[in-house]
A and B are shown apart, each in its own frame.
Chain A
Amino acid sequence: MSETARPYRPPYVTQSAVGTSPPNPPVTDDTVTFTLDGKERTAPKGTLIITAADQAGVYIPRFCYHPRMKPVGMCRMCLVEVTGPRGATLMPACYNPVTDGMEISTDSKTTKKAQDGVLEFLLVNHPLDCPVCDKGGECPLQDQTLAYGPGESRFVEEKRHWDKPIPLSSLVNLDRERCIQCGRCVRFAEEVSGDALIDFADRGDSTEVATFPNEPYADHFSGNVVQICPVGALTAQPYRFRARPWDLEQVESTCTSCAVGCRTAVQSSSDELVRYIGIDADPVNWGWLCDKGRFDFQAVNSPERLRVPLVRKGDELVETSWPEALALAAEGLGAAARIGHGDQVAVIGGARLPNEDAYAWGKLARLALHTDNIDAQLGDGLPAETVLGLPRATIDQAAAAPVVITLTGDIKEELPVLYLRLRDAAQKGRSIIELSPSTTGLTRYTKVSLRYRPGQAPALAHSLVAGDVPEVKALLDEAVEKSAVGPAIVVVLGRPSLAESADSVAEAARVLARLEGVAFLSGLRRSNVHGALDMGLAPGVLPGRVGLDEGREWYSQHWAAELPAARGLDTAGILEAATHGRIGGLVLLGADPLNDFPDSGAALRGLAQSRFVVAVDTFLTDSARKADVILPAATYAERRGTFTNVEGRVSWLGQMVTGPGVAWPDWMIAAELAAHLGTDLGFSSLEDIWAEIERVSPLHAGVTYDLLSSREGRDGVPVPLGSGGDLRTARLLDPMADPGIQSTESHLVSPTEFFGAGAGRLPADPSAAAPEMPAAAGRPPMLRPPLAGGASSSASASEDAGDLLLVSGRSLWDAGTAVAHSPSLSGLHPKPAARLHPDDLGRLDLAAGSIVRVSTARGSLDLPVAAEPGLAPGTVAVTFNLPGASAAGLIDSRGPVTKVAVSATAERGVPHER
């Protein structure tokens, strides 16, 4: 049989788990003319009746229809009477497109009777337990019953009974009695996230949403089904009984859990965060959030947050006041700065900070500490020039490009909602070519997935560019022909493995940059790392993607001060210098190198040998514990500001709650610390800072708070202006798509309120919605793409094919503070394991499940061993930063790759439990 086995063909894909989709309307400029409730209207051909009605301001009730999923026409709530060539019939408005001459009646007797009937049927088996239901008060079923429903029930029989809420996972509960079988959740799982861990089971009125026994609905996106459930059937454990809708306050914000920058509605009750809901920002997240972004606000509420400044007294950290803490910090840092003309001070971190704060700290470093030793990345990113200098693509451009090449970590784990966008693109026929040492969540959706051994990325890139891989060559050639607008090829570039040097990846990127029609989308994951880089938190880089030398004149003039003479050190360099006693003052800016730097040995030595350490953080991390002064910072939910995502989109953060104790926003700490150091940074408000950024940064010219808070800019503005296509001009928010969002129209904090008087005027001229980049007269040039092949190949030649090499990727659920301090997430991380290709397991005579010792030049770790066929042979995969078992103790950051040995231990078959 095996020789006749045909390649796997996935199920016929144009259909969702339930129902089918209507024929895709051809994209044309044709319009059709129809009447809606007697008024003649036109709409583009293919527009669904429900959409056409929405646009006309006529609301047709609905349940199963969700604008981001294929219509299925199941619930029948949207039935309307339509008179067309087939006479008058009832049609689901969510499924049928408007056609020429169609007469649609949303309020005829027939329509009303049908809709009332459906609503009555829905209530037949509904428990009507609204008073105890989390959805009560924001429930579309409740609303539509009040608006359209019959007064009293004619159903006198006993209702269908199910056990009250059962857990689908530790995050999501299901109350089957309330379920109206609209299929939104099972459709989401299959159609949007691709993890069909829930499905309908049974049939007819016994149909229930169900997981497989003992296989919980634990993917990365489960919270979305709670968000889109139109009734109280699916509820989130973290929100259960926490608040009632009428107690909620809401602000629009941007998720900072990773660098995708999903737009969110942040909701609080009694000054405590209770819920995040995804907002449908068309260019970014389409309403989706990952579970980390949705639920890690619990960390903000954590009682373990830093509340007051701490200073070291001997071995102890004692509470103190801001003035004392700042004075001590200034004294220590100032002394170190004076000694070495800035060479002996350094700042690590800043990727967690909003843009304004990053700018303030960058200015502090260069002006008050006279140093260019500043790096927002912790050795787990890429050289700033590579990220900033290569031609860039937006998320939309990546999703629309005929070919996407990924040379980055597992996007599903690191940038989950970008994964959803790329998966969607793949489902729509775009080709993904994956270059990776191991399988990723995206692998099943790729056209070609190429495994390479760590260190071989440049060589692989060369062979692709040379056309040596026929399957890839065909796709690339075709891509260039196919692409009409936007880049033909988008490379998503990040760190495929932390045990492979950034230089190796950067070199591969330079090679790929030679492809025709190529642009790059950053795959770096950490929060506002792109904002930090854009604000100059990298050695040799000034705000606005300007090189230190190119910008020296401009910035010294505008900042009225000398800039550091030479390019500073990156994190690896700083830690190395510290190890040799050359760092007298170190600032950890929301950075925990002991856990986040890929080589924990190097981090430990560096921190130990730094003479004076100041930590600015929200939690007492392992690294902060080693500091001399610890300054408590406010989190993103406790202050205003802006954020920049992977594509360079600047969007605003809303303040929803007040911080604990006396925690301050980071920019304020910077301003005060600078003052203690005798430097006036020149601003006393966020508005001041942003105004300065807008004035001096070539990247941010024209991007004013006014624009960001206007209707057009509220989904964010990609910088530089004009680089990311049109700005949005309308957001049609369907209350049914995202029940629970308190109409963002009315809840949009008015710009005036938010940013002070004078802000928030909408541009009178619609063309001003997408302003061209204003003539940035005199501003310094932005970074150019580095020359391809400029650097020598960094892959070491000393390693030979027989060596085992370490591969280390990330999991969404890691040991980071956000997850660790969110009770509902902290148990979700995968079990640590050493994973090997089955052939290697056989060769080494290791039994899956047994405990092995994984050793490198840096250290060793005892782990259960598992077979992973998707791994490049000759590699050993150990996930980075899992609680208690991080690969950080194994990775040798000095070399391009980390050689590793695996040996059996005495323990056999004992599962590694923690």
Chain B
Amino acid sequence: MSVTDAPRIVTRRLGTPRSWTLETYLADGGYQGLRKALTMTPEEIHEQVNTANILGRGGAGFEAGRKWGMLAKPTPVYLTINGDESEPATFKDHMLIEGDPHQLIEGALICAYAIGADQVFLFVRGEFPLGIERLQAALNEAYAYGAVGKDIFASGWSIDVVVHPGAGAYICGEETALLESLEGKRGYPRIKPPFFPAVVGLYGAPTIVNNVETVSNLPWVMLNGGDAFAALGEGRSKGTKLLALAGHVNRPGNYELEFAKVSFRDLIFDPSLGAGIRDGGELKAFIPGGASSPWLGPEHLDVLLANEKIAEVGTMAGSGSVVPMDHTTCMVRAAWRIVRFFHRESCGQCTPCREGGGWLEKILQRIENGQGRESDLDLLMDVCDNISPGVRWPPAQTTICVLGPSMPPPVASGIRMFRDEYLAHIRDGRCPFPPDRLPGKLASV
């Protein structure tokens, strides 16, 4: 077991009584990182962040420092923090927002200062009203404390921060859809080019979009230096990573672990972490990085939790959510449920995703209910291919954004890894797992 002794960077205060208040935060060195940052030049901060090599924690794993470096220079410049967390089985930002909102605000301010932002928007998933309340209350405290607003800490630097609630649409986590939503529109992802909000973003102005966890690292990095951060982890994957473990484990939860030092096996089986499969069951497969990532099987348990290591086996670390599934899991049903999610959340803008999602869902539903045909497997793969040509990872796409191409991986993984199980459904005219068709009333849909 190679669970490390790395410090906890973003989750340190969680569990402390009233961890979300300014009082608690200040008692634990709160806003010292910002104070220190304000004594530095934006370039110096950027340098530290480059040294730290913080990979974006929102899913794409793009280096934060590199992203900031792409910022086009005309003003105004905006900073938008992505707290729309809705990726299935991902619940880490939720916890950071509710449990340590000041850390998020401080991180956002450091980022804003470093990139020369004119205004900051904290976009929080609308279904987190408690998080929004706490974040807003923290922001109010921060204004009163002098950490936000005019002439912050008498440094001469001023900025406004706005907490913006979403309203329930997974696609608004996609950064350009998020910006459209923030502009008060339907959350349609923008077509590329331009490729980066850093060039054309909110209201057409250069905009940095960073994930909640990404910027929550910044206070620590400011205080301890980019080197200290980079001393953790390995390769591209530096520092620690917050992993959301859900599904058939004994101890689901969020775990902050040093990058590249811990394997999936550790995460799932270490008694201090996942503590093994529930009810002593057997691991059948696991989703390694969010619902859109291609699945892995037990043979991949020793892959280290590092972005590039996970990419090497043809999938992704994504948002850091890991979902082990035990031997009682029907893989058709699992794929169906994930596809159903993406289908329901498709913005509807582009044809392959809008129509393909529903089609895939219907075929999978039919197979699960015992009405499949053998040709359905080829059909499934071909429909997948028409959404994401080649059905490879990272995906090619006929769509505007990668929501559409998130549908093929669970289907393709399932067919690749569990073809016999699919065929059994078709051959026997029913699902081999109880209940023998889709749960409950959905079976008849």
Is B348 a contact of A204 with CB atoms below 8 Å?
yes
**Distance of A379 Cα from B345 Cα, bound (Å):** 61
Is B389 a contact of A12 with CB atoms below 8 Å?
no
Is A12 a contact of B354 with CB atoms below 8 Å?
no
For residue A148, give the distance in angstroms from its CB to the closest CB of chain B.
Answer: 14
Closest chain B residue to A97 by CB distance?
B193
Q: Does B417 contact A (CB under 8 A)?
A: no
The one of B193, B354, B389 that contacts A110, using a Cβ cutoff of 8 Å: B389
Is B169 a contact of A124 with CB atoms below 8 Å?
no
Chain A interface residue count, CB cutoff 8 Å, equals 46
**Distance of A76 Cα from B354 Cα, bound (Å):** 11
Is B362 a contact of A157 with CB atoms below 8 Å?
yes
Interface 1/0 per residue, A76-91 and B, CB below 8 Å: 1101000000000110
Is A89 a contact of B396 with CB atoms below 8 Å?
yes
Is A204 a contact of B389 with CB atoms below 8 Å?
no
- In the assembled complex, which residues on chain B have CB atoms less than 8 Å from the CB atom of A118? 351-352, 386, 398
**Distance of A23 Cα from B387 Cα, bound (Å):** 26
**Distance of A216 Cα from B193 Cα, bound (Å):** 36
For residue A845, give the distance in angstroms from its CB to the closest CB of chain B.
Answer: 40
Is B351 a contact of A22 with CB atoms below 8 Å?
no
Q: Which of B180, B190, B191, B386 has its CB near the most chain A CB atoms (within 10 A)?
A: B191
Q: Enumerate chain A interface residues (CB-CB to B < 8 A).
A: 11-12, 14-15, 17-20, 22-23, 72-77, 79, 89-90, 92, 95-96, 110, 113-114, 116-118, 120-122, 124-125, 154-155, 157, 160, 180-181, 200, 202-207
**Distance of A200 Cα from B180 Cα, bound (Å):** 15
Q: Does B165 contact A (CB under 8 A)?
A: no
Q: A12-B203, A20-B190 are in contact. Are A204 and B354 (CB under 8 A)?
A: yes
Q: Which of B344, B351, B387 has its CB near the most chain A CB atoms (within 10 A)?
A: B351
Segment 330-359 of B: residues with Cβ below 8 Å from A: 343-352, 354-359
Is A90 a contact of B350 with CB atoms below 8 Å?
no
**Distance of A114 Cα from B348 Cα, bound (Å):** 18
Is A76 a contact of B350 with CB atoms below 8 Å?
yes
For residue A474, give the distance in angstroms from its CB to the closest CB of chain B.
Answer: 23
Q: Does B184 contact A (CB under 8 A)?
A: yes
Is A113 a contact of B386 with CB atoms below 8 Å?
yes
- In the assembled complex, which residues on chain A have CB atoms less than 8 Å from the CB atom of B355? 121-122, 124-125, 205
The one of A90, A116, A120, A181 that contacts B354, using a Cβ cutoff of 8 Å: A181
Is A18 a contact of B398 with CB atoms below 8 Å?
no
- In the assembled complex, which residues on chain B have CB atoms less than 8 Å from the CB atom of A205? 343, 346, 348, 354-355, 357-358
Is B347 a contact of A204 with CB atoms below 8 Å?
yes
Segment 180-207 of B: residues with Cβ below 8 Å from A: 180, 183-186, 188, 190-191, 193-194, 200, 203-204
Q: What are the 9 closest A-B residue pairs judged by CB atoms, nearest first?
A: A117-B386, A121-B355, A207-B348, A204-B346, A204-B348, A157-B362, A12-B203, A73-B191, A20-B190
Identify 19 residue pairs between A and B in the complex whose beta-carbon atoms are under 8 Å apart, listed by A's number. A15-B180, A17-B185, A17-B186, A74-B349, A74-B400, A77-B351, A90-B396, A92-B191, A113-B385, A121-B352, A121-B356, A157-B362, A181-B354, A203-B186, A203-B346, A203-B347, A204-B344, A204-B357, A205-B357
- In the assembled complex, which residues on chain B have CB atoms less than 8 Å from the CB atom of A202? 348
Is B351 a contact of A76 with CB atoms below 8 Å?
yes
Other than A76-B400, A157-B363, give 12 A-B pairs with Cβ distance below 8 A.
A12-B204, A22-B191, A22-B193, A73-B191, A74-B350, A79-B398, A92-B191, A117-B386, A200-B186, A203-B347, A204-B344, A207-B348
Q: Enumerate chain B interface residues (CB-CB to A < 8 A).
A: 169, 180, 183-186, 188, 190-191, 193-194, 200, 203-204, 343-352, 354-359, 362-363, 366, 379, 385-387, 389, 396-400
Is B183 a contact of A76 with CB atoms below 8 Å?
no
For residue B390, give the distance in angstroms from its CB to the closest CB of chain A.
Answer: 9
**Distance of A734 Cα from B247 Cα, bound (Å):** 54
Q: A12-B203, A154-B379 are in contact. Are A19 and B351 (CB under 8 A)?
A: no
- In the assembled complex, which residues on chain B have CB atoms less than 8 Å from the CB atom of A74? 191, 349-351, 400
**Distance of A76 Cα from B183 Cα, bound (Å):** 25
For residue A25, give the distance in angstroms from its CB to the closest CB of chain B.
Answer: 12
Is A75 a contact of B351 with CB atoms below 8 Å?
yes
- In the assembled complex, which residues on chain A have CB atoms less than 8 Å from the CB atom of B180? 15
- In the assembled complex, which residues on chain B have CB atoms less than 8 Å from the CB atom of A77? 351
Closest chain A residue to B359 by CB distance?
A124
For residue A41, give the distance in angstroms from its CB to the closest CB of chain B.
Answer: 22
**Distance of A74 Cα from B200 Cα, bound (Å):** 19
Q: A18-B186, A73-B191, A117-B386 are in contact. Are A181 and B359 (CB under 8 A)?
A: no
Is B354 a contact of A207 with CB atoms below 8 Å?
yes
**Distance of A154 Cα from B385 Cα, bound (Å):** 15
Total A-B pairs in contact (CB under 8 Å)? Answer: 124
For residue B185, give the distance in angstroms from its CB to the closest CB of chain A.
Answer: 8
For residue B382, give the distance in angstroms from its CB to the closest CB of chain A.
Answer: 8
- In the assembled complex, which residues on chain B have CB atoms less than 8 Å from the CB atom of A96? 193
- In the assembled complex, which residues on chain B have CB atoms less than 8 Å from the CB atom of A17? 185-186
For residue B194, give the distance in angstroms from its CB to the closest CB of chain A.
Answer: 6
For residue B406, give the distance in angstroms from its CB to the closest CB of chain A.
Answer: 14
- In the assembled complex, which residues on chain A have CB atoms less than 8 Å from the CB atom of B343? 204-205
**Distance of A587 Cα from B343 Cα, bound (Å):** 70
Closest chain A residue to B205 by CB distance?
A12
Closest chain B residue to A123 by CB distance?
B355
- In the assembled complex, which residues on chain B have CB atoms less than 8 Å from the CB atom of A14? 204
**Distance of A22 Cα from B199 Cα, bound (Å):** 12
- In the assembled complex, which residues on chain B have CB atoms less than 8 Å from the CB atom of A89? 396
**Distance of A492 Cα from B357 Cα, bound (Å):** 52
**Distance of A18 Cα from B349 Cα, bound (Å):** 8
Closest chain B residue to A21 by CB distance?
B191
For residue B282, give the distance in angstroms from its CB to the closest CB of chain A.
Answer: 35
**Distance of A404 Cα from B108 Cα, bound (Å):** 46
Is A95 a contact of B396 with CB atoms below 8 Å?
no
Q: Which of B193, B355, B356 has its CB near the most chain A CB atoms (within 10 A)?
A: B355
**Distance of A720 Cα from B33 Cα, bound (Å):** 74
Closest chain B residue to A126 by CB distance?
B355
- In the assembled complex, which residues on chain A have CB atoms less than 8 Å from the CB atom of B379? 154
The one of B183, B190, B359, B386 that contacts A155, using a Cβ cutoff of 8 Å: B359
Is A124 a contact of B358 with CB atoms below 8 Å?
yes
For residue A361, give the distance in angstroms from its CB to the closest CB of chain B.
Answer: 56
Q: A72-B191, A110-B389, A155-B359 are in contact. Are A203 and B350 (CB under 8 A)?
A: no
Is B345 a contact of A23 with CB atoms below 8 Å?
no
Closest chain B residue to A77 by CB distance?
B351
**Distance of A361 Cα from B151 Cα, bound (Å):** 79
- In the assembled complex, which residues on chain B have CB atoms less than 8 Å from the CB atom of A12? 183, 203-204
**Distance of A75 Cα from B169 Cα, bound (Å):** 21
Is B351 a contact of A204 with CB atoms below 8 Å?
no
- In the assembled complex, which residues on chain A have CB atoms less than 8 Å from the CB atom of B185? 11, 15, 17
Q: Which of A154, A204, A207 has its CB near the most chain B CB atoms (within 10 A)?
A: A204
Closest chain A residue to B397 by CB distance?
A90
- In the assembled complex, which residues on chain B have CB atoms less than 8 Å from the CB atom of A113? 385-386, 389
- In the assembled complex, which residues on chain A have CB atoms less than 8 Å from the CB atom of B399? 76
Closest chain B residue to A200 by CB distance?
B186
Q: A203-B348, A204-B343 are in contact. Are A19 and B359 (CB under 8 A)?
A: no
**Distance of A122 Cα from B366 Cα, bound (Å):** 21
- In the assembled complex, which residues on chain A have CB atoms less than 8 Å from the CB atom of B357? 204-205
Is A90 a contact of B352 with CB atoms below 8 Å?
no
For residue B99, give the distance in angstroms from its CB to the closest CB of chain A.
Answer: 31
**Distance of A72 Cα from B189 Cα, bound (Å):** 11
- In the assembled complex, which residues on chain A have CB atoms less than 8 Å from the CB atom of B348? 181, 200, 202-207
**Distance of A118 Cα from B352 Cα, bound (Å):** 6
For residue A407, give the distance in angstroms from its CB to the closest CB of chain B.
Answer: 34
Closest chain A residue to B194 by CB distance?
A23
Closest chain A residue to B184 by CB distance?
A11
The one of A19, A200, A203 that contacts B191, using a Cβ cutoff of 8 Å: A19
- In the assembled complex, which residues on chain A have CB atoms less than 8 Å from the CB atom of B193? 22-23, 96
**Distance of A499 Cα from B199 Cα, bound (Å):** 54
Q: Which of B349, B389, B396, B397 has its CB near the most chain A CB atoms (within 10 A)?
A: B349
Q: Which of A160, A203, A207 has its CB near the most chain B CB atoms (within 10 A)?
A: A203
Is A95 a contact of B366 with CB atoms below 8 Å?
no
**Distance of A157 Cα from B355 Cα, bound (Å):** 12
- In the assembled complex, which residues on chain B have CB atoms less than 8 Å from the CB atom of A204? 343-348, 354, 357
